[in-house]
Amino acid sequence: MYKRGHGPNYLVRRRYLSSKLVLEENLTTVSIVIERGRCRWGRCYFCGWGKRYRDVPIEHLKEKICRTLDKYENISTVKIFCSGSLLDPEQYPREFLEWLLKEVENRGIKHLIIESRPEFITEEALNVLRSYNLKVTVAIGLELADDNILLNYYRKGFTVKDYLNAVNMLRRAGLGVRTYILANGHPILYNNPKYHREVLHKTLKLAVEVSDSVVAINAYPHEESELIKDWIIMRWRPLTCEEFISMLGEWVNNPKIEVDCENFRFIPRIPKRMRMKIVGVGRDVLLHPHFEVWQDFILRFYKPPPDKKYLLFLPCTYRKPYSKSPTHRAILSTLRIYPWFSKLHLVVVSTPGVVPYEYHTEYPFTSYDWPEWLETPEVKQEYIEITRERVKKFLERNADHYHIIFAYFHLESETLQAIIQAVNELGLQHKFVNVLDEDTYRRIVNEIGKDRVGSSVLRHRLALSRLVLVLNKCIKSIEEKMREEKEFLKK
């Protein structure tokens, strides 16, 4: 089944949820993710979790659950996410289910939410669930109430009738019903927005009528799902939170519906079997599908860390990951001693596009090479144009987050040209500082020789001294001004 997130109070992790759901004072909802075996169905188009096999002893699951519950007090609700069906006795033996029910009941917790496919909701399973003094809710991934989509595109392996039969069995047994709805789980929906919206609204209407609670989920692809392949070839793209909320329309205000518009810890990991060393120059390399997927993610979904208020653009390096290169090691060791370093956001700009440092150890940023000796004037111009547009989109989305934008490149860098063009087109000259000045650059070139101009310039003592001087002066000035404004407002 689709991975639904975890952590304490996770019900209120999105602003659309927190505005509608109120937890009782001093009570806590705890979510726990467990994995064992494999989902017996394991063929859903959008899901990668169910395709994985995990050989985990039952005792380890029990230890994890107890260890998690021991961390919190006054727990009102426990949710178990199981990457399959907790009611499938082949994946989770009945002994484990009975242990879980008893453990939750003995701790004085009133509500347990588990998940299952419809075919495992049997009279035998229901007898186990209702034999404890505990409110039990079973969550079912209906996804969309359309048999054509369920069987031929989502490949769920059951029909709307199967879902309703399972719901009726749960109701007769006095158990709760929770329904997961998954939008945009196949290219046919992404490429037919009107049809997509109609089916989604029909599904929401049905789910609200028969469920105690509904979770409307915006699909994001796991690396083992087929959706990630569709994204790589741009046959499908994930919806932004704004696009998803717009598609939900008036349903977003329904008190039964929780909205999960940004999947927890989502990044576009390319399946390992598809990874490669990307080598070469030119448009095909710059727009390689593995670069493009990441740029789509970074330029549409990524948000800088809230405490990183000073942006420092840096070049890439031959050695990967960048932080292991002599140039980046020199930069990091030079800047790390300053109190404002923790507020500095490092972002590399190069062949793959815009790369926030948080992701610099991810593929494909660790597995490419751009042989500069193969560049022609046409290739350089193409590089500048594509890089300019990527930087421009990044700044359009994030410039307001930063107090200032620094760029640290040698002065003949095509990447620097692209950044300056993007800054100028957006009218951000007032926030932009090109760290290396002409005088420092020429002194370094005269000392090391014209033939060594490149990354070695940036780890030269004069360049690093200039970097510290400029950053220290600008950041101190900005923070002093902010302190003065804060003091003025207090008066």
Q: Report phi then psi at 113, rounded to 5.
A: -115, 125
State how far the alpha carbon of 168 is from the alpha carbons of 104, 112, 122, 141, in Å: 25, 19, 11, 15
pLDDT band at 304 (very low <50, low <70, confident <90, very high): very high
CB atoms inside a 10 Å sphere around CB 421: 17
**339-354 tens-digit pLDDT:** 999 999 999 999 999 9
**170-181 tens-digit pLDDT:** 999 999 999 999
- What distance in Å separates the CA atoms of residue 355 and residue 348, rounded to the nearest whole number? 5
266 occurs within a structural domain: no
194 occurs within a structural domain: yes
**123-149 tens-digit pLDDT:** 999 999 998 889 999 999 999 999 999
With 60 as the cut, is the pLDDT of residue 3 above it? no
Tell whether 28 and 147 lie within a shared domain. Answer: yes
Tell whether 396 and 355 lie within a shared domain. Answer: yes
Tell whether 253 and 301 lie within a shared domain. Answer: no
With 70 as the cut, is the pLDDT of residue 5 above it? no
**80-107 tens-digit pLDDT:** 999 999 999 999 999 999 999 999 999 9
CATH number at residue 244: 3.20.20.70
The SS3 assignment for 79 reads strand
pLDDT band at 51 (very low <50, low <70, confident <90, very high): confident
385 occurs within a structural domain: yes
Q: Burial, 130: exposed, middle or buried (Cβ in 10 Å; 0-12, 13-18, 19+)?
A: middle
Q: Burial, 63: exposed, middle or buried (Cβ in 10 Å; 0-12, 13-18, 19+)?
A: exposed
Tell whether 240 and 287 lie within a shared domain. Answer: no
- What distance in Å separates the CA atoms of residue 89 and residue 197, rounded to the nearest whole number? 37
Amino acid letter for position 330: A
Residue ranges making up the domain that contains 109: 10-260
Asked if residue 320 lies in contact with residue 365, where contact means CB atoms within 8 angstroms, the answer is: yes
With 70 as the cut, is the pLDDT of residue 161 above it? yes
**Which of 196, 228, 260 is the last residue in one of the domains?**
260
- Split into its structural domains, the chain has a count of 2
Tell whether 124 and 256 lie within a shared domain. Answer: yes
State how far the alpha carbon of 406 is from the alpha carbons of 328, 344, 399, 417, 429, in Å: 15, 10, 12, 14, 11
Where would I find the H helices in 319-401? 326-335, 377-398
Tell whether 29 and 133 lie within a shared domain. Answer: yes
CATH number at residue 377: 3.40.50.10630
The SS3 assignment for 145 reads coil
pLDDT of residue 4: 40
265 occurs within a structural domain: no
What's the whole-number mean pLDDT along residues 450-460? 80
How far apart, in Å, do the first and last CA atoms of the chain sit?
A: 57
What global pTM score does this model have? 0.87
Tell whether 252 and 384 lie within a shared domain. Answer: no
243 secondary structure, DSSP code: H
**Mean of the per-residue pLDDT values of the chain:** 92
- What distance in Å separates the CA atoms of residue 315 and residue 137, rounded to the nearest whole number? 52
Q: For the chain, what's the residue count?
A: 491
**Which of 205, 229, 260 is the last residue in one of the domains?**
260
2 occurs within a structural domain: no
- Beta-strand ranges (E) seen in 185-339 are 213-218, 257-260, 278-279, 310-314
pLDDT of residue 491: 67
Tell whether 204 and 245 lie within a shared domain. Answer: yes
Tell whether 120 and 200 lie within a shared domain. Answer: yes
**Which of 260, 288, 310 is the last residue in one of the domains?**
260
Cβ contacts of residue 86 below 8 Å, gap of 6+? 80, 92, 97, 100, 114, 115, 116
Tell whether 221 and 74 lie within a shared domain. Answer: yes
3 occurs within a structural domain: no
429 occurs within a structural domain: yes
Asked if residue 23 lies in contact with residue 135, where contact means CB atoms within 8 angstroms, the answer is: no
Closest CA to 187 of 178, 174, 196: 196
Tell whether 25 and 122 lie within a shared domain. Answer: yes
Tell whether 99 and 216 lie within a shared domain. Answer: yes
Closest CA to 330 of 213, 453, 458, 202: 458
158 occurs within a structural domain: yes
